[in-house]
Chains A and B, each alone.
Chain A
Amino acid sequence: MDDLLAARSQMALSLGFHIIFACIGMIMPFFMAISHYIYLKTGKEAYKKLTVAWSKGVAIFFVTGAVSGTMLSFELGLLWPKFMEEAGPIFGMPFSLEGTAFFIEAIALGFFLYGWGKFHPWFHWFTGVVVGVSGLASGILVVAANAWMNAPTGFDIIDGVYTNIDPIAAMFNEAWFSQALHMTLAAFVATGFAVGGIHAWMIRKGKSKDIHIPALRISLTIGAVAAILMPLSGHHAAKDVAHRQPAKLAAMEAHFHTEERAALIIGGIPDEATQTVNYAIKIPGGLSYLIHGDFVTEVKGLEDIPQDEHPPVAITHYGFQIMVGIGMLLMLVGLIWLFGLWKKAPYLHAPWFLALLALLSPLGFIAVEAGWVVTEVGRQPWILYGIMRTADAVTPMPGIVYSFWLYVAVYLSLSLIVGALLAKQVKALDKETEQLSPKTS
Chain B
Amino acid sequence: MVDIIIAFLYLSLLMYLLFGGADFGAGIIEFFTSDAKKDRTRLLTYQAIGPIWEANHMWLIITIVILFVGFPKVYSTVSIFLHIPVSLLLLGIIARGTAFIFRHYDPDQGKFQPLYNLIFVYSSFLSPLFLGILAGTIISGRIDLEAASFPEAYLFPWLAFFPISVGLFTVAICGYLAAVFLIGEAQTHEDQMLFRKKAIRMNVLTVVAGALVFLAATLEGIPLLAGMLDHPITILALVLASISLPLTWKYLRENFHMRARILVGFQVSMILFALFYSIHPAFMVFKNSVLILKDAAAGPATMNSLGIALLVGSVFILPSLFYLIYSFQKKPFQPLAKK
B partners with A: yes
Cα separation A181 to B327 with both chains bound (whole Å): 36
A107 and B320 contacting across the interface, CB-CB below 8 Å: yes
Given known contacts A64-B98, A81-B76, A396-B80, is B313 in contact with A107 (CB within 8 Å)?
A: no
Cα separation A130 to B115 with both chains bound (whole Å): 34
A88 and B106 contacting across the interface, CB-CB below 8 Å: no
Contacts of B114 in A (CB 8 A): none
A74 and B52 contacting across the interface, CB-CB below 8 Å: no
Cα separation A100 to B59 with both chains bound (whole Å): 10
Q: 1/0 per residue B113-140: CB within 8 Å of A?
A: 0000000000000000000000000000
B309 and A96 contacting across the interface, CB-CB below 8 Å: yes
Please classify the interface of chain B as helix (H, G, I), strand (E, B), loop, or mixed, using the class held by over half of its residues. Answer: helix
Q: 1/0 per residue A395-431: CB within 8 Å of B?
A: 1111100010010001000100100010011011000
Min CB distance, B259 to chain A, in Å? Answer: 25
Given known contacts A63-B54, A67-B93, is B328 in contact with A114 (CB within 8 Å)?
A: yes
> A43 interface residue, CB < 8 Å from B?
no
How many residues of chain B have a CB within 8 Å of chain A? 60
B101 and A78 contacting across the interface, CB-CB below 8 Å: no
Of A27-35, A165-173, A255-263, the segment with at least 4 beta carbons within 8 Å of chain B is A165-173
Contacts of A64 in B (CB 8 A): 98, 101
Given known contacts A84-B79, A85-B76, is B68 in contact with A103 (CB within 8 Å)?
A: no
B313 and A99 contacting across the interface, CB-CB below 8 Å: yes
> A106 interface residue, CB < 8 Å from B?
yes
> B107 interface residue, CB < 8 Å from A?
yes
A77 and B75 contacting across the interface, CB-CB below 8 Å: yes
A99 and B61 contacting across the interface, CB-CB below 8 Å: yes
Cα separation A273 to B117 with both chains bound (whole Å): 54
Contacts of A70 in B (CB 8 A): 57, 60-61, 90, 93-94
Min CB distance, A57 to chain B, in Å? Answer: 9
Cα separation A395 to B78 with both chains bound (whole Å): 12
Chain A residues touching B, range: 35 or more
Residue picked from A104, A106, A109, most chain B C-beta under 10 Å: A106
Of B156-164, B233-241, B245-253, B294-302, the segment with at least 4 beta carbons within 8 Å of chain A is B294-302
B101 and A85 contacting across the interface, CB-CB below 8 Å: no
B79 and A92 contacting across the interface, CB-CB below 8 Å: no
Min CB distance, B128 to chain A, in Å? Answer: 15
Which residue of the partner chain, among A59, A74, A86, A397, contacts B90 with CB atoms under 8 Å? A74
B87 and A406 contacting across the interface, CB-CB below 8 Å: yes
Min CB distance, A123 to chain B, in Å? Answer: 10
B97 and A63 contacting across the interface, CB-CB below 8 Å: yes
Given known contacts A84-B79, A96-B69, is B98 in contact with A403 (CB within 8 Å)?
A: no
Residue picked from B100, B101, B321, B328, most chain A C-beta under 10 Å: B101
Which residue of the partner chain, among B95, B153, B310, B320, contacts A96 with CB atoms under 8 Å? B310
B93 and A63 contacting across the interface, CB-CB below 8 Å: no
> A82 interface residue, CB < 8 Å from B?
yes
Min CB distance, A105 to chain B, in Å? Answer: 9
A165 and B310 contacting across the interface, CB-CB below 8 Å: no
Residue picked from A71, A86, A90, A107, most chain B C-beta under 10 Å: A107
Min CB distance, A49 to chain B, in Å? Answer: 14
B58 and A102 contacting across the interface, CB-CB below 8 Å: yes
Cα separation A70 to B152 with both chains bound (whole Å): 28
> A93 interface residue, CB < 8 Å from B?
yes
Min CB distance, B21 to chain A, in Å? Answer: 16
Which residue of the partner chain, among A88, A98, A118, contacts B298 with CB atoms under 8 Å? A88
> B280 interface residue, CB < 8 Å from A?
no
> A113 interface residue, CB < 8 Å from B?
yes
Closest partner residue, chain B, to A99 (CB atom): B65
Given known contacts A70-B61, A100-B317, A103-B61, is B69 in contact with A63 (CB within 8 Å)?
A: no
> A73 interface residue, CB < 8 Å from B?
yes
Min CB distance, B109 to chain A, in Å? Answer: 11
Cα separation A207 to B105 with both chains bound (whole Å): 21
Which residue of the partner chain, among A107, A167, A403, contacts B324 with CB atoms under 8 Å? A107
Contacts of B13 in A (CB 8 A): none
Cα separation A84 to B327 with both chains bound (whole Å): 39
Contacts of A59 in B (CB 8 A): 101, 105
> B332 interface residue, CB < 8 Å from A?
no
> A439 interface residue, CB < 8 Å from B?
no
A88 and B75 contacting across the interface, CB-CB below 8 Å: yes
A425 and B64 contacting across the interface, CB-CB below 8 Å: no
Contacts of A396 in B (CB 8 A): 80
Closest partner residue, chain A, to B81 (CB atom): A397
Given known contacts A67-B93, A86-B72, is B302 in contact with A167 (CB within 8 Å)?
A: yes
> B10 interface residue, CB < 8 Å from A?
no
> B289 interface residue, CB < 8 Å from A?
no
A417 and B98 contacting across the interface, CB-CB below 8 Å: yes
Cα separation A417 to B101 with both chains bound (whole Å): 11
Min CB distance, B286 to chain A, in Å? Answer: 16
Cα separation A106 to B20 with both chains bound (whole Å): 14
For chain A, residues 154 to 169, give those with C-beta under 8 angstroms from any C-beta of chain B.
163, 165-168
B97 and A85 contacting across the interface, CB-CB below 8 Å: no
For chain B, residues 70 to 114, give those with C-beta under 8 angstroms from any C-beta of chain A.
70, 72-73, 75-76, 78-80, 83, 86-87, 90-91, 93-95, 97-98, 100-102, 105-108
B98 and A166 contacting across the interface, CB-CB below 8 Å: no
> A56 interface residue, CB < 8 Å from B?
yes
Min CB distance, A430 to chain B, in Å? Answer: 11
Given known contacts A66-B97, A100-B312, A421-B105, is B91 in contact with A165 (CB within 8 Å)?
A: no
Cα separation A85 to B80 with both chains bound (whole Å): 11
> B55 interface residue, CB < 8 Å from A?
yes
B309 and A425 contacting across the interface, CB-CB below 8 Å: no
Min CB distance, A373 to chain B, in Å? Answer: 24
A78 and B69 contacting across the interface, CB-CB below 8 Å: no
B324 and A100 contacting across the interface, CB-CB below 8 Å: no
Q: 1/0 per residue A112-139: CB within 8 Å of B?
A: 0111001100000000000000000000
Min CB distance, B211 to chain A, in Å? Answer: 32
Min CB distance, B118 to chain A, in Å? Answer: 14
Which residue of the partner chain, among B51, B100, B299, B316, contacts A100 with CB atoms under 8 Å? B316
Q: A85-B73, A108-B320, A406-B91 are in contact. List 9 more A-B contacts (CB 8 A).
A: A56-B105, A63-B54, A88-B75, A89-B72, A102-B61, A103-B313, A165-B302, A397-B154, A417-B98
Q: List residues of chain B with CB under 8 Å of any chain A CB.
A: 50-52, 54-55, 57-58, 60-62, 64-66, 68-70, 72-73, 75-76, 78-80, 83, 86-87, 90-91, 93-95, 97-98, 100-102, 105-108, 150, 153-154, 298-299, 301-302, 305-306, 309-310, 312-313, 316-317, 320-321, 324, 327-328
